[in-house]
């Protein structure tokens, strides 16, 4: 048994809920965070069938990509699908947790699962997020520098891609004079003092800033700590929507269509006119990705693979690339494997299964 809280905080460490879109409702849908979890069933959507499958397995957590409570619930009478699912989950004491657009917005998320399925190399986020990074600057007496720096690193500051413990340190001197009520760590109250200090600069993901600041303040020896928090305009190459990469070996467009169909078990691919060019650069976005078509064109993609494109949106390809719509379910199906792999990495001996009853709600004739 693992407390539900441990599972959700692990997932939220990978894809912070603050990354979700404003319209979204990712997070714990049903259940007590203190519930002891016996097993996890992974699906794209929670349904009555998936809940029954979990019950049969003796599992009490269903992890989904799409939130079951999305447009809001105003009653629990069982009149609508979501109401019935939530009611059933409560009755059967099965928790439901959803990781939706926050898992779309990270490297290693939904679109990465698609890109991996196509074997794309040199993968990059198609539309990196900006505004999610801060720079924290704090002035620390030399002797306490290491303890303050380590406290901030431990709280999650100083991570840049595959690197951690990133900081910049510049020696200088600070001045201060404590008032009557002060008890200065260095010098005396009422006397002007100059102290050798280091200007310590560390990058911090915005969602970790309050944790980093409290750890920093706890480790810092001063009564009044001088520190600054700067918002950064930098794009975060590890966060954002969609993925672009290259095929190891270029393919003819028809060959690529066949390959795509096979890799995603797609019955149908709706696509714009072929251009008679080899496919090298491929952009992908899981789910409804039309909002990234412009980015895919600007990035020089030969094809853009997504789901849920509307009629008018196909015109927007404008012959600059080939849009390939494989279907919403098809494009996101490997999100289940992604969740499975991530859970196995953290809880290797725990019971985690992919739903076997879940089916694409869309059939093709």
- Note the residues at the interface with Zn ion (CB under 5 A): 287, 332
Which of these, 105, 109, 89, lies nearest to 30 by C-alpha position? 89
Residue number with CB closer to Zn ion (242 or 287): 287
Nearest residue to Zn ion on Cβ basis = 287
Q: In angstroms, give the least distance from the CB of 84 to Zn ion.
A: 21
Residue number with CB closer to Zn ion (325 or 332): 332
Residue number with CB closer to Zn ion (85 or 213): 85
Which of these, 21, 202, 232, 201, lies nearest to 131 by C-alpha position? 232
In the structure encoding, which two tokens stand for residue 236, read together? 């975060």
Q: In angstroms, give the least distance from the CB of 329 to Zn ion.
A: 8
Q: In angstroms, give the least distance from the CB of 290 to Zn ion.
A: 13
Q: How far is CA 223 from CA 172, 175, 179, 181, 220, in A?
A: 20, 14, 12, 11, 8
Residue number with CB closer to Zn ion (128 or 287): 287
Q: In angstroms, give the least distance from the CB of 332 to Zn ion.
A: 5
Q: In angstroms, give the least distance from the CB of 147 to Zn ion.
A: 45
Q: In angstroms, give the least distance from the CB of 99 to Zn ion.
A: 11
- The CB density around residue 360, as the number of other CB atoms within 10 Å, is 15
Residue number with CB closer to Zn ion (220 or 328): 328
Residue number with CB closer to Zn ion (65 or 149): 65
Can you give the C-alpha Rg of the chain in angstroms? 25
Would you call 201 exposed, middle or buried from its count of C-beta atoms within 10 A (0-12, 13-18, 19+)? middle
With residue 286 as reference, give the H or E element that holds it.
Answer: strand 279-288
Residue number with CB closer to Zn ion (10 or 70): 70
| Cβ proximity of 129 and 235 under 8 Å | yes
User: Long-range contacts of range 180-186, CB-CB < 8 Å, 24 or more positions apart?
Assistant: 182/223, 183/223, 184/222, 184/223, 185/141, 185/221, 185/222, 185/223, 186/141
Q: In angstroms, give the least distance from the CB of 130 to Zn ion.
A: 24
Q: Sign of the C-alpha dihedral, residues 304, 309, 313, 314?
A: positive
Contacts for 278 with CB less than 8 Å, ≥ 6 apart: 250, 251, 252, 253, 302
Residue number with CB closer to Zn ion (132 or 286): 286
Q: In angstroms, give the least distance from the CB of 328 to Zn ion.
A: 6
Q: In angstroms, give the least distance from the CB of 100 to Zn ion.
A: 7
Residue number with CB closer to Zn ion (253 or 358): 358
Q: Sign of the C-alpha dihedral, residues 91, 93, 94, 96?
A: positive
Contacts for 22 with CB less than 8 Å, ≥ 6 apart: none
């Amino acid at each position: 048994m693992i407390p539900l809280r441990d599972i959700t905080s692990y997932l939220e460490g990978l894809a912070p809920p603050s990354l979700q879109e404003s319209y979204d409702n990712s997070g714990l849908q049903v259940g007590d965070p203190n519930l002891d979890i016996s097993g996890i069933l992974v699906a794209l959507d929670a349904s009555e069938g998936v809940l029954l499958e979990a019950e049969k397995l003796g599992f009490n957590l269903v992890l989904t990509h799409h939130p079951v409570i999305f447009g809001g619930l105003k009653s629990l009478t069982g009149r609508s699908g979501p109401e019935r699912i939530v009611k059933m989950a409560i009755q059967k004491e099965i928790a439901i947790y959803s990781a939706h657009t926050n898992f779309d917005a990270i490297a290693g998320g939904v679109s990465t699962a698609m890109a991996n399925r196509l074997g794309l190399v040199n993968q990059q986020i198609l539309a990196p997020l900006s505004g999610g990074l801060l720079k924290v600057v704090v002035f620390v007496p030399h002797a306490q520098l290491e303890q303050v720096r380590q406290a901030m690193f431990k709280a999650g500051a100083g991570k840049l891609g595959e690197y951690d413990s990133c900081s910049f340190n510049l020696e200088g001197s600070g001045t201060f004079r404590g008032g009557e009520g002060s008890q200065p760590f260095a010098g005396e109250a009422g006397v002007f003092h100059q102290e050798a200090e280091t200007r310590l600069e560390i990058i911090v993901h915005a969602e970790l800033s309050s944790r980093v600041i409290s750890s920093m303040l706890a480790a810092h020896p001063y009564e009044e700590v001088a520190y600054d928090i700067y918002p950064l305009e930098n794009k975060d190459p590890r966060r954002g929507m969609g993925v672009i990469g290259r095929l190891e070996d270029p393919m003819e467009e028809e060959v690529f269509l066949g390959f795509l169909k096979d890799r995603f078990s797609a019955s149908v691919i709706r696509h714009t006119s072929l251009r008679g060019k080899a496919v090298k650069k491929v952009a992908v976005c899981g789910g409804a990705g039309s909002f990234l078509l412009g980015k895919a064109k600007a990035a020089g993609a030969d094809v853009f693979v997504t789901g849920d494109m509307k009629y008018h949106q196909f015109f927007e390809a404008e012959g600059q690339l080939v849009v390939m719509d494989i279907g919403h379910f098809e494009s996101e199906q490997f999100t289940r494997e992604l969740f499975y792999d991530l859970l196995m990495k953290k809880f290797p001996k725990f019971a985690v299964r992919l739903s076997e009853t879940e089916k694409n709600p869309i059939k093709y004739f």
